[in-house]
Amino acid sequence: MRIAMSADHAGYQLKQDLAATLVKQGHEVLDLGTHSTAPVDYPDCAEEVAKALTAGDVDRGIVVCGSGAGVSIALNKFPGIRAAVCHDCYTAHQAVEHDDMNVLCLGARVIGAALAEEIAESLAPSEQDPGDREPFPSHLIDTMQLGLVGLGRMGGNMARRLKGGGHDVAAWDRSPEAVQKLQGDGITGASSLDDLVQRLTPPRAVWVMVPAGDPTEQTVAALAERLQRDDVIIDGGNTHFKDDIRRAREVEAKGLHYVDVGTSGGVWGAERGYCLTIGGEAPITARLTPIFRTLAPGQGAIPPSEGLDVTKTTAHEGFVHCGPAGAGHFVKMIHNGIEYGLMQSYAEGFDILRNAPYQLKLEEVAEVWRRGSVVSSWLLDLAARALVKDPQLAEFVGNVADSGEGRWTVEAALEENVPADVLTTALYVRFRSRRDHTFAEKLLSALRAQFGGHVEPKA
């Protein structure tokens, strides 16, 4: 087992003795200090273990101070941390088996090394069948407060999903009507950006969900002027990853943190969940894990890929930390470029079927392909839905817009000298669609309306 340990000056010697014993027992110990009896602040010691645990670097934590109480209080301020003071073996065993304790807190002025060693043995889960125990109600503890700016097609649904997950959400939008609508769902509404910030408890986290470009730029800048050191700005829109890198440097100079999240799920996200690719400092993104876990779809009925070590990633839950600032939006950018190519493939295929020397019912072809076919996908599900509603797609002209990520994907391919024939062609077809229209372009417009609620531009 991988165990992170820390202590203040009062707990230094007990930490040293206990660490030596754990290593002899075959455990991997990450000693995060302190390394002497010089006075230190115990909250700092607690924070180091919390960061290591939430980042997935270790399996459990042990923190020692004079009584154990102070570090326990400090630790439980961190999302995902469940710390408890245990000065007897029974309490420690119950805390692990029934309360999912992941950090053991000990008082060096209360117990000695021999008892501490016995208590530490309780950190390892028993061989008891998990089915014999009541599931731990983590949703009652792993909740956060979040500010949300932008209540459009996706922002409003995200606020509702977070509220449903037990989080405390305060929201603001330039449209008072959008705020009032959410207040009816039990979400705290703010009258201005200043009011939103005042309603949040430091360290704050504010998620920006407004259109990319100037609206996002202005919102991030306005928040940076109002937030305080250690607060976090999260951009969940479709920002260019190079803008993320620049903004992260700018807000870091003010003592703030910047996280970029590629958010996929469209208008269906409230029901299905959102696929999240995340960029930013690992300890900061780990702090936000309860938010990401609620927004994401979860593993559901889809088993992890064979060989994937689920103890080292959250990808199987529908969210993943991709790297430093910009990485989340870079991955989402390529995701959207691939989306262009997939949509174009379906569109061209159905156009060929429509013009075939047979009276094919396209809605039935789409439906049968959904079942056992190697080309089945959610996009095909949406195509089938659109074709059942109107096999001729008469409500669409075929004027297909692009939201920018396809262009950025092609630019990235050029910068990296990577051939991207299909993705580039798919982008160029959208340009051409604004002059000449085919049934294929109608299906592209229908798909965009289905997954994102995008309205076809006027010709």
The Cα–Cα gap between 50 and 237 comes to 29
Nearest alpha-carbon partner for 292 in 327, 250, 261, 329? 261
Q: Which of 332, 441, 442, 456 is catalytic?
A: 332
Q: Token match 């007990």: residue?
A: 14
Count Cα atoms within 13 angstroms, Cβ side, for 29.
Answer: 20
Catalytic residue status for 181? no
Spatial separation of the C-alpha atoms in residues 315 and 274, rounded to whole Å = 12
CA distance 204 to 361: 54
**Using CA atoms, how far apart are residues 43 and 63, in angstroms rounded to an integer?**
10
DSSP letter string over 341-384? HHHHHHHHHHHHHHTSSS---HHHHHHHHTTT-TT--HHHHHHH
Examine the residue annotation and report whether 77 is marked as an active-site residue of this protein: no
Beta bridge partners of 31: 5
CA dist 372 and 360 (Å) reads 20
Range list of β-strands (E), 98-248: 103-107, 145-149, 168-172, 188-189, 205-208, 232-235
Between CA 234 and CA 108, with CA 56 as vertex, the angle to 5 degrees is: 115
One of 48, 339, 441, 456 is an active-site residue; which one? 339
Q: Which amino acid is at 304?
A: P
Q: Which residues are catalytic?
A: 332, 339
